[in-house]
Amino acid sequence: MLAIIAAVLFGLALIFELAGISLDIVTGQVLVTAGLLCVALHLAGVGARTSWRARR
């Protein structure tokens, strides 16, 4: 799920940079940083759907 969010953030950052759009606080740089944070959390295993039940 975090990887999908990161992909959306990277896509928005690309659109912002290509169109030259810059809102008050949301810029392409902020979206790239948020995307990298989501990728790092995804790679760390945060939000993973794992079951901790004992296997037989």
What DSSP letter does each residue of 1-56 carry, written as one string? -HHHHHHHHHHHHHHHHHHT---SS--HHHHHHHHHHHHHHHHHTTT-----SPP-
**What's the confidence (pLDDT) of residue 17?**
87
Task: Give residue-wise pLDDT tens across range 7-35.
Answer: 999 999 999 889 988 888 888 889 999 99
Q: Can you give the pLDDT at residue 20?
A: 87
Higher pLDDT, 49 or 34: 34
Note the pLDDT of residue 28: 86
pLDDT of the residue at 54: 61
